Structure formats: structure tokens, C-alpha cells
Amino acid sequence: MKGDPTVDRLLRHLHGGDPRALARAITLVEDQQPEAAGLLAGLDQKRIEDVLVLGLTGPPGAGKSTLTGALITALRKQKYRVGIIAIDPSSPISGGALLGDRIRMMEHALDWEVVVRSMATRGRLGGLCASAGAAARIMAASGCRVVILETVGIGQSEMDIVRLADLTALVLAPGFGDDIQAMKAGILEVADLLVVNKADQPGAGKLQLEMATVFTDPKEREERICATVANEGTGVAILLDRIFTLEGEFRSNGQLHARRKRSFQLETLDWAVEIVKADLREKLQTTTFTSTEPRQAAMELVKGFGKRI
């Protein structure tokens, strides 16, 4: 807990910006070490208040990682420290492609003001929301102005992650627009900004027009859609400008506060479920069930847990 000299030293180095302390702190939380609670409680609250957690999502192939790289470059020009949390499905099937994306981020590999952390969605000790949320706060405490939360936008756990962000940009590219009608309701649900990437490719104009119909308010239509060519850096400065403008709005109109309250609840529930799940898993190994039917066996398993005591 707080007062632990090891934790105090780690916090000091972390707040001083030491990237090794940052890495160690995140690992400590991910592995649910006993020092995790004290560490998290000791983080610089002012920096956590000031950070922007930016969600970046979209289908594979839309150019999310390239855009992340371009945003890092733009943020570094403004001398900001940047954190990146890359949520990696790390399924055997997609593993390769994402590995490639990570490698592309290597252009910033030697810049100590750019801190990158990959998080796998499988074989985890803790819940993904919980770990990603904690990592974002640790990065904030280490001095990051922006933490980019990059996910492949498919699957429940990845969608939950998006809900942790203060502000989310959905990255699309021409060729993904055929089924736009079916997507529209969902887009509004998750995306504050729509980025039409690969805007120099055929079909980009059509995609932008389709995206425009998502917004009914002309002002929003103007401000919420950005065209980029991420691999050339085109449009990225404007995108970053819009991101910071929207952040300012969200800070003053209470949106940011409301979203952080929701994140707090999501993360708390996620941690709690992981804690109880570990106990249930342990009990599962030692229980001889009278029922061979899982639904009924589950009722036997949850005896003594919560309301069903």
C-alpha cells in the first residue's frame, strides 16, 4: 500500500518520466501484484485530470496504425509526450497482421517521449478494460498529454475498450463503404469523429458524402468528419486540431466528466468480475457437480457468491 518504499520509489521515477518505471508500473498492475493498489492510488491526480484518452478504432486495413504514427509525429512537433496502448486481439489468425502494424510504429521507437504498450486480449490475468484504463492513467501520470487507445474494431471486448476513451475517432477508408447504411446507427454510438483515411484513393469522395449523412446538424457535419492521407501526413494537423477543439468542448460541457464516470464504473466492474472469476475458476476445479447440465451446474457453482448465499 501507500507508504511502501518500493512503491514510493517507483512512483517518484514514474512521475519523473522514466520510461522503465512506466513499463514496470504497467506490468505490476497487469500481473495484479500486491503493490498495484498502492501504486494506482499514488498517481498524480492532476495529470490524470489533464490527459486526453483518445480512442482510435476501425476495420483492419483502414490504416489505423499509420494514422496513429502520423498523429504521434504531429503531437511530437508540439512537444507533447504521447502514450499508445495498442489492443491486440492476438488471435492466431490475425496475429501476423497486427505484428506488422506494431513494427510500423518503430519509426518512433527511439523517441523516449513516445511510450507504447501492447495489450493482448487473450490469456490475460486481469480484465482488459481494467488493465487498459489503469495503463492510461499510469501513462498520464508519467507526463503524457495524450494517450491513444488503438483497437481493431471487432468483437465485444474491443468495443468495451472504446468506451474507456474520452473521445473516439473511427477510421474508415474507401472500399469499406459498401455497407454504410447498416453501419450508421452504430457509428453514431461509438464515434465522435469520423476519419476518411486514404482520401487520395478512388471512392473517398463517395465515402465522405455517405459519412456526411450520419450527421443532421450542418456544423457537426463540418467539424466531425476529417479526410486524411495518413502515410503522407496530409490532413493530420487539421484532425489533431479538431481533436483538441472537441476535447475543450467536452471539458466545458460536462461530457468528459460524464464519460469518465462511466469509465470508472466499467473498470470497477471489470476488476470486480476478474476477482470473482478467479475464485469461481478455483472452485470449479474442486467441485463435483450433481448436474451434468452447465446452466444447473453454474447454480451450484455460484452458491456462496453474492446474493445467492
- Separation between Cα atoms, residue 59 and residue 170, nearest integer Å: 9
Parallel, antiparallel, or unpaired: how do β-strands 225-227 and 167-172 relate? unpaired
Q: Is 121 in the site for a second copy (CB under 8 A)?
A: yes
Residues 211-230 within binding reach of a second copy (CB under 8 A):
none
The x, y and z cell numbers of residue 152, run together, are: 481493431
CB atoms within 10 A of CB 33: 11
Q: Which of 23, 212, 237, 280 binds a second copy (CB under 8 A)?
A: 280
Q: Is 159 in the site for a second copy (CB under 8 A)?
A: yes
Q: Is 209 in the site for a second copy (CB under 8 A)?
A: no
Q: Is 97 in the site for a second copy (CB under 8 A)?
A: yes
Q: Which of 94, 118, 231, 234 binds a second copy (CB under 8 A)?
A: 94
Please, what's the b/e burial string for 119-133 (b: 16 or more CB within 10 A of its CB; e: otherwise)? bbbeeeebbbbbbbb
Q: Which residue's C-alpha cell is 474494431?
A: 153
Q: Is 257 in the site for a second copy (CB under 8 A)?
A: no
Alpha carbon of 160 to those of 67, 155, 172, 190, 263: distances in Å? 22, 9, 19, 10, 10
Q: Is 297 in the site for a second copy (CB under 8 A)?
A: yes
| Radius of gyration from C-alpha coordinates of the chain | 21
Q: Is 57 in the site for a second copy (CB under 8 A)?
A: yes
Q: Which of 14, 28, 29, 199 binds a second copy (CB under 8 A)?
A: 29
Nearer to a second copy, 69 or 89 (CB): 89
Q: Is 178 in the site for a second copy (CB under 8 A)?
A: yes
> What is the edge-to-edge ordering of all strands in the sheet holding 52-57?
114-120, 82-88, 146-150, 52-57, 167-172, 193-196, 225-227
Q: Name the segment binding a second copy (CB under 8 A); options: 110-118, 139-147, 148-156, 200-208.
A: 148-156
Parallel, antiparallel, or unpaired: how do β-strands 146-150 and 167-172 relate? unpaired
Q: Which of 92, 202, 218, 254 binds a second copy (CB under 8 A)?
A: 92
Q: What minimum distance in Å lies between the beta carbon of 8 and a second copy?
A: 17
Nearer to a second copy, 90 or 201 (CB): 90
Q: Is 269 in the site for a second copy (CB under 8 A)?
A: yes
Residue 84's DSSP bridge partners are 116, 148
Ramachandran region, residue 123 (left: φ > 0; alpha: ψ -120 to 50; beta: rest): left
Nearer to a second copy, 75 or 198 (CB): 198
Q: Is 154 in the site for a second copy (CB under 8 A)?
A: yes
Q: Is 16 in the site for a second copy (CB under 8 A)?
A: no
Q: What minimum distance in Å lies between the beta carbon of 113 and a second copy?
A: 26
Report DSSP state, residue 234.
B
Q: What minimum distance in Å lies between the beta carbon of 291 and a second copy?
A: 8
